[in-house]
Chain A
Amino acid sequence: MSLYPLFARPRTVQQAAQVLESMSSGVVVIAGGQELMPHVNHGVLQPEVYVDINALADLKGIREDDGLVSIGALTVHRDTFSDPLVAEKLPLLVEAMKLIGGGRQVHNRATMGGNIVAMHPLYDVVPVLLTLEAQVEVVRGAETRRTSLKELMADPRHGLGSEAILIRVLVAPMAADAGFAYEKLKSSGGAYGSANAAVALTVADGVIASLRLVIGAVADRLVDASEALAFCIGQSWSDALASKVEHCCAGLIDQPLSDHQGDGEWRKAMAGVVAQRAMGRAVARAVAQEGR
């Protein structure tokens, strides 16, 4: 905690990594500031050093890289969801990101990296990235590492934002005939999500062939329901299956959040509702694709 923090604006990732490495504590990486600044403004967070990563060219841009869609950590939400490549290859991400709150002002400045590193259970980007089994590239000191986002999220010592820098996210394109949907339940226009579900699946011959589904905003951690929903494989969508999905997903939430968004019992139930609704829409999309 310091009244007079220091500031660094490294020009290369290497420089940035070195600055971070040289500091012991009180250092924060800042990108768009949309996450950090509310805390700074209220005195909850008083960093000793800000490391501004906005000059790092390696963290910018969206491109195809070795068959994967690479989204730089500094890409702001609006540039992500209005990008033609993302629209074509990752339509689920577009659907979810358009529902991010805060208005255009936030869409114009909040970055992909900041959203991921915030790891906020109510946010909308990570559920999709987990559904799509995204990889992330992280630099720490001299080391550049590529891991799955899932692994990174599970590691309490990932050090992102103080010791490590997220360079980019890499996502395999969704199958052209994939069914997908992002379902976000919120209490009002300005509220954060109370229950979210991201789903990507494929349908062959009218039955579900593969399925990934991640639930957010109902518990401290996001819940990957894909395995628990394995019973759906080989099934066609029906009211009976929908209620089984709903029941199964609600059952996965053992410690629901209970906050201004709504109480725990409701959140648990809503996990089921959004999962079931997302899946219903995704199957309908996939079936329509198949019919074409």
Chain B
Amino acid sequence: MNTSVAVSHHHGPASGISRWLFTTNHKDIGTLYLWFSFLMFLTGGCMALLIRAELFQPGLQLIQPDFFNQMTTMHGLIMVFGAVMPAFVGLANWMIPLMVGAPDMALPRMNNWSFWILPFAFAMMISTLFMDGGAPNFGWTFYAPLSTTYAPPSVTFFIFAVHMMGISSIMGAINIIATILNLRAPGMTMMKLPLFVWTWLITAFLLIAVMPVLAGVVTMMLMDIHFGTSFFDAAGGGDPVLFQHVFWFFGHPEVYIMILPAFGIVSEIIPTFARKKLFGYASMVYATASIAVLSFVVWAHHMFTVGLPLAGELFFMFATMLIAVPTGVKVFNWVATMFRGSMTFETPMLFALAFVVLFTIGGFSGLMLAIAPVDFQYHDTYFVVAHFHYVLVPGAVFAIMAGAYYWLPKWCGNYYNETMGKVHFWCNFIGVNITFFPMHFIGLAGMPRRIPDYALQFADFNAIATVGAFIFGFSQLIFLYNVISCIRNSKPASDRVWEGSHGLEWTVASPAPYHSFSEPPQVK
């Protein structure tokens, strides 16, 4: 027994490609997830740039409407399921064991499998672009019957791909829960967990609750398409609105799946660079939990115009407005953490500060959208597009960037180039706002979303948005270059990396050794 433990201590990574194919090491798998998500981020980003290029001027220039719809659909699906979610899982893989003092994830083999499903799922989904009839063209929300009776034949591959992504996510979530609940170091009580770990624990429960619902809804589509049922087909006695209820029962918690871990990351970074303990730790935990609970009773705010009964409209309006309370608490806590701190502004902190401001702006437009009577004007316009891009891009994506810069020295053992990091940040910050802020205006002025061409009064702001999108898109190459040079060679990082850092992950060496915490640390 003792000897086998000693042996496993000394064996490092396998060599060559088999290291990555067969690895059960949480750090390797985390790395795989992160690279995969970056690749998907660039892929989905290219699609976004094609969309923006077509919308640069009124008239059809580059692509035809059917392909435009394929691009909006694939862009949404790839960004949600391929870029943002795997990035968070990658960060969880790397950091949760280090943060709770565990030697690895609780279920390492399953961990390997959850990752390796993803490349196949996305290869299959992207291959639909080359099929007869083209890729899915019904929007990432794939409302029936546009996605069933009226869908291109490739919809079946899309359904299969969604099933695979769902399985991957559920396994990832189980693994995270098992790790957090069972592998904490002695003395690491629940109320001592870093907030990133807390937010991921809650996110993982959300995933387990709603991914099966997504699987259910795509299975019902499959039955309608191939096995003669009529779940969503009015002509056969079915109900197209049922689709939306089931979809958004998954979809709303899904948006919190994409933002709660971001809250966690920012709650790690701000205290480090403000050199001050996080304000209101306990209220942060409770706020996260209440957002998660509320996320199950607000789904129909996406459906205010489908003809819900008045009582339903009112219920979903009030419940949605209520979410502003715990979300507000979080923002106030972050600001209170900075207040009377001793701040410095390294790249991770810049991204975190931009997150707080721009996510809050996205929260404001969210609050406006919650007001049901007004939503009749906002719904399905660019105002909604502006809203969810504000919470997802400078929200989720900035938090991921912040996390990547923050932990990169721990992962690679080297500092990234700070100047280049700041240039990357400012390009992102400016690009994001030039892209998405004008969308509020064109949405209010009446431009519907998902249209390949538009009336002339929307022309100027669309042109501006396109310029912003190209700035944002191409500045990601700076990040790529910075990460690669950081891995190759650069200034070696100390174990603590940052002056104000705190927590178990900073007690191991930089770069973090292949096996860490084989002896559990003692947390006081």
Are chains A and B native binding partners rather than an unrelated pairing?
Answer: no
